[in-house]
Structure 1
Amino acid sequence: MPQERTPPQPILLHDRFNEIRTLLLELLNSLSPDDWQQPTAAPLWSVKDVALHLLGGDLSNLSRRRDQHRPPPDSPIDSYQDLVAFINRHNADWVRASRRISPHLLCDLLAFTGPQLATYFASLDPFALGDPVDWAGPDPAPVWLDIAREYTEQWHHQQQIRDATHRPPLYTPHLFALVLDTFLRAMPHSYSNTAAPEGTTIHIEITGEAGNQWFLERSSTSWELLTATSTPPTTHISIPQDTAWRLFTKGIRPEQALSHATITGDPAMAPPFFHTLSVLA
């Protein structure tokens, strides 16, 4: 019998941006003055700072991508580490400078930029090749993956605000499952330096209403992410959805995530999973 191997489908979600922005604005407009100052999982950033960061992301995307306004970086970017340092510095500078914006005006600005960004993403050919999504690998990526990456940024920062202000989580499968699916696209790159015999297969299961299962299978040349395979798994990793997104966004340490996970089979294949980041960090 031929071997069953089903690759994952492209993630097409440009229609979710207006929905997730509406939920963000409802959340922000419900906050008290004390809520805006609460610390978040983002180091050194308050709830207001995270919301300012989301606005900065909108402005940067619209200016740099839609309007092709791309000032040169203030220092050379010759490596992944240079890129991360530049982005962290850029983000910190923006948040520091924009703290004078009031919460009321911040909400107005997010209501203004959100639909424009959604319209821009909807105008793109999702199957064209674009810039690399660096946490998924150094090669040009399909535009749909870059759009999905941006969606995960908006989702996880909104979730940080929800955590900090004790609001219900944004775990609706319609919105959350796409985040987890996007994060898993980092797995082949995460395992790229992990040697294993051809046919080695890691079964990844994320439990919860928005969860799913994936298979990472070693071919003769690389690791491939699949949604189904007839190859028996070498290792099975099961992790709750609430733990998974925090792990992939550096919200918890690998050892914390490991304490909530179940590993069966060969444990030697598990460590790269717990060191996967689906954000630039």
Structure 2
Amino acid sequence: MSLHPTLQPYADAWTHSIEAISELVLPLVEGEWNRRTPCPGWSVRDVVSHVIGMDCEMLGDPRPIHTLPRDLFHVTNEYQRYTEMQVDVRRHHTAPEMTSELEYTIIRRNRQLRNESRDPGTKVRGPFGSEQTLEEAMRYRAFDLWVHEQDLRTALGRPGNLDSPGAHIARDELLAALPDVVAKDAGAPPGSAVVFDVHGPIEFLRTVRVDAEGRGSIDGAPSLGPAVSLTLDWETYVRLACGRVTADVVADRIKAEGDPELTAAILLSFAVTR
């Protein structure tokens, strides 16, 4: 048996992004590993440490036994503490140690994917000892990896892959979160509609509609009288939705029409990654 067809797009996206990350960091000199990335509190080294750590968890490796320092300003909740463990344990690793562990992890994960024959619904380990399906784990891994590839590209001044396989998975993940952003977090009124018109390497138009009970849904049909219409480019959409920038920083890249209070509430609630 081989990888289930449902899982193949996630494996392909992971492979594309991990190879890009490897290519980006392999030639870096020691000082470049300390460059700040758009991911709050993380350097290039920290992002790569996270990538290694999460793939090691996909491999079933035990989590490190490590005590986090108390002065990490960007760690504000338990999920972040969980994620930070794999990062902080590698914080003083040298450039050769980082690239060697990354390459070894890639070899192991490639072997795992070649031999993967489990059903997409198979339960696997998730964060905090939770369970998730293999499909959920692989989908989120592909999404997370592409977002961190973009963090590294920004930090190193090497833009690219905004329309790669991982980018399309990221689009679907971020769009799935939009109904809650608009209806629940921003509090759009029942019966209203909000239109998102995104252009660039990945283009789409989506409308979030809020029903009489205040629940949000999303579709690809335009709305004739939306409460708010937002037009922005794909890269800005990603940076906002992943919490890499706030709306005031990229205001010149967003065209907003409609209710200003609802617009502000949506943009304030736009970040959906933890």
TM-score of Structure 1 vs Structure 2, range by shorter chain: 0.7 to 0.9
Shift of 1:17: 0.9
Query: How far apart, in 1, do the equivalents of 2:261 and 2:16 lie?
Result: 41
Query: How far apart, in 1, do the equivalents of 2:223 and 2:8 lie?
Result: 24
The residue number in structure 2 matching 1:277 is: 271
**Does the 8 Å CA contact 2:63/2:86 hold for their aligned counterparts?**
no
1:235 alignment partner, one of 228, 231, 237: 228
The residue number in structure 1 matching 2:195 is: 203
Residue 37 (str. 1) matches residue 34 (str. 2):
yes
**Does the 8 Å CA contact 1:237/1:264 hold for their aligned counterparts?**
yes
The residue number in structure 2 matching 1:3 is: none
Counterpart AA for 1:38: R
The residue number in structure 1 matching 2:17 is: 20
Query: How far apart, in 1, do the equivalents of 2:48 and 2:101 lie?
Result: 11
CA RMSD in angstroms, aligned pairs only: 3.6
Shift of 1:223: 0.3
Counting only pairs closer than 5 Å after superposition, residues 112-123 of structure 1 correspond to structure 2 as: 112-114=104-106, 116-117=108-109, 119=112, 123=117
> What is the DSSP-based 3-state SS (H/G/I as helix, E as strand, rest coil) of the residue aligned with 1:110?
helix
Shift of 1:228: 2.8
Task: Pick which of 116-125 and 203-212 moved more.
Answer: 116-125
TM, length-normalised to structure 1: 0.73
Counterpart AA for 1:55: I
The residue number in structure 2 matching 1:183 is: 174
Shift of 1:264: 1.8
Report the CA distance shift for 1:162/1:70 in structure 2 as closer, same or farther (over 3 A): closer
Residue 170 (str. 1) matches residue 161 (str. 2):
yes
**Does the 8 Å CA contact 1:218/1:224 hold for their aligned counterparts?**
yes
Segments of structure 1 that go 5 or more residues without pairing to the other structure are: 1-9, 75-82, 134-139
Shift of 1:123: 4.8
**Does the 8 Å CA contact 2:205/2:222 hold for their aligned counterparts?**
no
TM, length-normalised to structure 2: 0.75
**Does the 8 Å CA contact 1:202/1:234 hold for their aligned counterparts?**
yes
Residue correspondences, number: 251
Shift of 1:84: 6.8
Residue 220 (str. 1) matches residue 216 (str. 2):
no
Shift of 1:26: 1.0
Residue 98 (str. 1) matches residue 70 (str. 2):
no
**Does the 8 Å CA contact 1:38/1:164 hold for their aligned counterparts?**
yes
Shift of 1:40: 1.8
